[in-house]
Amino acid sequence: MEISDSVLERIKKEKAKPMPGWFFRLRDWLLWLALILLMLVAVSSLGLFAFFLSDGPISHGARFFFGAVFGRMPMILLGLAVLGVAFALFDFRMTARGYKRSLIIVGLIFVVMVLLAGWTFNRYGLSRNLDSFFSNARFYQDREMYMRQVWQDPDNGLLAGQIASVAGNETFYMKDFDGKEWKVEISHALRRHGLAPVEGLKIKLIGSALGNIFVADEIRPWMGMGGCRGTTDAKPCGMLKQ
């Protein structure tokens, strides 16, 4: 007996009935919905990853690499982006015609789409909004806390805090985020965005520490321009656009 005859005989014996067409259509719609959601997870995660690293130490000559890039939250976000693309690709293969497409080509298309969309999210302020939205979630470390962690490292030439008082064009006093007071010399410092030190302003510095004196090579606004394009957020974007 041929295999086809055996299968037909078994169908008759078990009185099996074919699945209705609507079941397969619903299954396909659900797969496409899951694909869209997975791609959104990947895009959002990559956009946040870029937002975390924008204007970070690595982007302008810091003296270390590992801590700036491989902090806990950026790595979680990067991992979510990779997993989102991987599961989206698997999901696509499960759709009605997905198995007919080249896995490599579809994977490359997904990667390019996520890279472009993630870059757009960060450039036009959507990543900044997402960071603000998730800031109170227990599982999430927002960019503010991440930046404090990364920049509070005077032994490696990185310092951040709030200006306490200004003592002229070349010197001011600040308190870092650990509560330590510093005298900051900025006579030869590069001032990003034309920044002028004023009391109460949060800043970050690159330079060298000598006791409680910090000689700055570069002075930057605290949160920088990451994700400021296309937003009217006055804190800190508004200050930087003036």
CB atoms within 10 A of CB 22: 8
Residue-level pLDDT at 131: 93
Residue-level pLDDT at 64: 47
Q: Amino acid letter at 171?
A: T
Residue-level pLDDT at 16: 57
Residue-level pLDDT at 170: 87
Is residue 92 classed exposed, middle or buried when 0-12, 13-18 and 19+ CB atoms within 10 A define those classes? buried
Residue-level pLDDT at 98: 82
- The answer to whether 122 touches 74, Cβ cutoff 8 Å, is no
Residue-level pLDDT at 144: 85
Give Cα 187 distance to the centre of its chain. 34
Query: For each of the chain's 242 residues, which pLDDT tens digit applies?
Result: 455 556 556 656 666 566 677 777 888 899 999 999 999 999 999 999 989 887 665 554 544 444 445 578 888 999 999 999 999 999 998 888 888 888 899 999 999 999 999 999 988 889 999 999 998 888 898 888 888 888 888 988 899 999 999 988 889 999 999 999 999 999 888 888 778 888 999 999 999 999 999 999 999 888 765 545 444 444 544 444 33
- The answer to whether 57 touches 158, Cβ cutoff 8 Å, is yes
Residue-level pLDDT at 82: 95
- All residues at 6 or more sequence positions from 36 whose CB lies less than 8 Å from its CB, including other chains: none
Residue-level pLDDT at 231: 42
Residue-level pLDDT at 152: 87
Distance CA 110, CA 193 (A): 36
CA distances from 25 to 22, 34, 90 (A): 5, 14, 18
Its pTM stands at 0.74
